[in-house]
């Protein structure tokens, strides 16, 4: 296995990553796919992020409340493999969150009643990070709600609240598509469709790649 090389490959540009391989590791590559991506400097990424989680906090304050939350974001960007940096301005689109199966944090208590929307992840900015990552800034809007007090049946109003999330989004190198041994529980590779899928917490990130040159 080439575990050290695989770790670096996910973070480095194609040309830099190739130098890391011993003859043993090189034999595990699909050389046709490797050379396909060696011929380009920039890569276009169509990224879809899907969030699914059954225990997300949706009310901030009081006894709070949680629920099954879904959300989605789409990102279009161009990536320079040699510098591991963005080319031009990325474009992104946010979608509304979904919330169902509301629960109180105390299972024996009645669930909250939402009086407004909950928005889990609204992407507001993308910029270059470190080591092949993007620095993503997003807002999280907790829902206003009526929640029970001490499970006694009486309810109190909890106002809406807003917070900020910062996520480091990894941009996987196209090189991974030539490396089937790298796939695992958090990484899927589809070389035939130039697609990489990663899993991180409640997020599933699907990267559709195309040569940018």
Structure confidence by residue, pLDDT tens digits, 103-120? 998 888 999 999 999 999
Q: Is the pTM of this model over 0.75?
A: yes
The pLDDT value recorded for residue 44 is 98
Hey, what are 91's tokens? 């474009």
H helix or E strand, kind and range, residue 14: helix 14-18
State how many domains the chain has: 1
Hey, CA dihedral for 165, 86, 194, 175, is it positive or negative?
A: negative
Closest Cα to residue 34, out of 16, 20, 14? 14
Structure confidence by residue, pLDDT tens digits, 44-77? 999 999 999 999 999 997 667 999 999 999 999 9
The pLDDT value recorded for residue 62 is 63
Quote the domain boundaries for residue 116. 3-211
The pLDDT value recorded for residue 61 is 77
Query: Nearest-5° angle of CA 92, CA 127, CA 75?
Result: 20
Structure confidence by residue, pLDDT tens digits, 90-102? 999 999 999 999 9
Pairwise CA distance, residues 124 & 127, whole Å: 10
The pLDDT value recorded for residue 24 is 37
Q: What is the percentage of the chain residues whose pLDDT exceeds 70? A: 86
Pairwise CA distance, residues 19 & 25, whole Å: 11
Q: Which of 18-27, 182-191, 192-201 has the lowest mean pLDDT?
A: 18-27
**Mean pLDDT calculated for residue range 127-151:** 92
């Amino acid at each position: 296995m080439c575990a050290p090389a695989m770790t670096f490959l996910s973070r480095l540009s194609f040309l830099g990553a190739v130098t890391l391989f011993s003859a043993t590791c090189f034999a595990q590559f699909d050389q046709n796919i490797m050379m396909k991506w060696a011929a380009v400097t920039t890569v276009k990424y169509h990224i879809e992020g899907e969030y699914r989680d059954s225990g997300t906090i949706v009310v901030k304050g009081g006894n709070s409340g949680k629920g099954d939350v879904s959300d989605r974001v789409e990102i279009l960007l161009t990536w320079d493999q040699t510098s591991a940096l963005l080319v031009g301005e990325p474009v992104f689109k946010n979608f509304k969150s979904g919330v169902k199966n509301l629960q109180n944090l105390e299972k024996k208590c009645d669930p909250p009643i939402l009086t407004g929307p909950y928005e889990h992840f609204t992407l507001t900015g993308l910029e270059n990070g470190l080591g092949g990552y993007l620095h993503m800034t997003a807002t999280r809007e907790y829902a206003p709600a009526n929640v029970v007090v001490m499970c006694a049946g009486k309810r109190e109003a909890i106002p809406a609240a807003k917070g900020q999330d910062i996520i480091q989004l990894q941009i996987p190198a196209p090189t991974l598509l030539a490396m089937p041994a790298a796939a695992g529980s958090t990484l899927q590779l589809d070389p035939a469709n130039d697609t990489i899928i990663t899993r991180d917490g409640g997020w599933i990130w699907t990267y559709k790649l195309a040569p940018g040159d």
